[in-house]
Amino acid sequence: MKKEPFVTQEQLQEIVKKYPTPFHLYDEKGIRANALALKKAFSWNKGFKEYFAVKATPNPFLINILKECGCGCDCSSKTELMLADALHFDGKDIMFSSNTTPAEEFQYADDIGAIINLDDFTHIDFLEKTIGHIPETISCRYNPGGVFKISNSIMDNPGDAKYGFTEEQLFEGFRLLKEKGAKYFGIHAFLASNTVTNEYYPTLAKTLFELAVRLKEETGADIRFINLSGGIGIPYRQEEEPNDIYVIGEGVRKVYEEVMVPAGMSDVAIYTELGRFMMGPYGCLVTTAIHEKHTYKEYIGCDACAVNLMRPAMYGAYHHITVMGKDNRVCDHKYDITGSLCENNDKFAIDRMLPKIDIGDLLVIHDTGAHGFSMGYNYNGKLKSAEILLKEDGSAQLIRRAETPEDYFATFDCFDILKDLRSTND
């Protein structure tokens, strides 16, 4: 499917007059429509809820849009929990799916009433010692080990992943938690990332539903929800076929009716913790071409770098690029599109065929709405960009300002040398 930016060239030219590039831009209309489609696709399940994976896009304005669409949030750390709490999410609408969890984070999660999703058997004791009790509602993360396959093709390798309880530990864990006072149980698993197939959720659901039935039979646990977690992917490449959330919802419904309903478990809620699927396509990184370089290859240097979007440098991930205003021209130039880090993997694209780029052209790097800005860092003293929301009425709202040198230096405040430097400069 041809990738078109969700913003027009005219809109973008207006925005850059006010906010200099680079910045991440988000599409409110797209976010809302997608969130509502997800809700509709799972509306057959009475308790369905999406807990948005905050780590994908930890911006309160964007999370608030999802909140308005009925989503909760899934947090992986204390600061993410603080963000959820600041947005007045109810405790039951906050999932805390962490791993290698520090004691104070469990304590904080319990203080705000979040649902705790344990990553490990030993965390049962750790949690009890930390917060002084076992919560009434508790969830455990499952790792089946081995490889995860969908009709003979290997999707991922859970046996090598650090997450979750083994099957044996899960049965033992449910018994132990029950003994210690847990009343309501959840099961969670995340077995493959960025899946571009409608089969992932139904396959995972079948595994978890069958497990839930056995857990209920053998431990007597009152299972209230099954959390299919994240992993529904998006087509980063034009030639990829996007997932159809209605087909996915229907696939999960079929398995639910086959496995859960006959076991008398037709009141169990389905939860999801999607990140990429909720936001990925509805964000883009806008950057300006500021240099061209002709050596052994043709380079276009832009004002964004891997600090703003790490996925290409880190995973060799593909992100589609549109040269604004030139989308209908032939792609007869082969470029490496680079950032300014002293790091040769700081390239948004390698050997990419694009229309001829001129200095000053605006480039839109697609699908940066999830795991984009949030993975940013400050290498080379580079500062994080602004985030801007393209609202439904077409206007632009700054939803996070760009970092300034003061932000960069803020954590040195305790050192006298900085004060000395300041007074010398004054």
The residue range among 3-11, 64-72, 186-194, 284-292 that interacts with ligand PLP, by the rule CB under 6 A, is 186-194
Q: Which is nearer to ligand PLP, 6 or 51 (CB)?
A: 51
Q: Does 3 bind ligand PLP (CB under 6 A)?
A: no
Selected from 73, 370, 390, 396, the binder of ligand PLP by CB under 6 A is 370
Q: How far is the CB of 355 from ligand PLP (least distance, A)?
A: 32
Q: Does 276 bind ligand PLP (CB under 6 A)?
A: yes
The residue range among 6-14, 48-56, 240-248, 314-322 that interacts with ligand PLP, by the rule CB under 6 A, is 48-56
Q: Which is nearer to ligand PLP, 42 or 335 (CB)?
A: 42
Question: How crowded is residue 90: how many other Cβ atoms within 10 Å of its Cβ?
Answer: 11
Q: Provide CB contacts within 8 A for 388, sequence distance 6+.
A: 15, 19, 23, 24, 25, 26, 396, 397, 398, 399
DSSP conformation class of 356? P
Q: Does 274 bind ligand PLP (CB under 6 A)?
A: yes
Residue 33, SS3 per DSSP: helix
Q: Are 287 and 363 in contact (CB under 8 A)?
A: yes
Q: Does 229 bind ligand PLP (CB under 6 A)?
A: yes
Cα three-residue angle 278-289-56, rounded to 5 degrees? 20
Q: Does 55 bind ligand PLP (CB under 6 A)?
A: yes
Backbone angles phi, psi at 6, to 5 degrees: -85, 0
Q: Which is nearer to ligand PLP, 362 or 370 (CB)?
A: 370
Q: How far is the CB of 194 from ligand PLP (least distance, A)?
A: 6
| Inter-axis angle of helices 28-41 and 245-255, nearest 10 | 20
Q: How far is the CB of 229 from ligand PLP (least distance, A)?
A: 5
Q: Does 107 bind ligand PLP (CB under 6 A)?
A: no
Selected from 19, 48, 89, 190, the binder of ligand PLP by CB under 6 A is 190
Selected from 28, 156, 273, 387, the binder of ligand PLP by CB under 6 A is 273
Measured in residues, the chain has a length of 426
Amino acid 289 reads A
Q: Are 191 and 146 in contact (CB under 8 A)?
A: no
Radius of gyration, alpha carbons of the chain: 23
Q: Provide CB contacts within 8 A for 217, sequence distance 6+.
A: none
Q: Does 74 bind ligand PLP (CB under 6 A)?
A: yes
Question: How crowded is residue 314: how many other Cβ atoms within 10 Å of its Cβ?
Answer: 12
* Residues binding ligand PLP (CB under 6 A): 53, 55-56, 74, 76, 97, 190, 193-194, 229-231, 273-277, 370
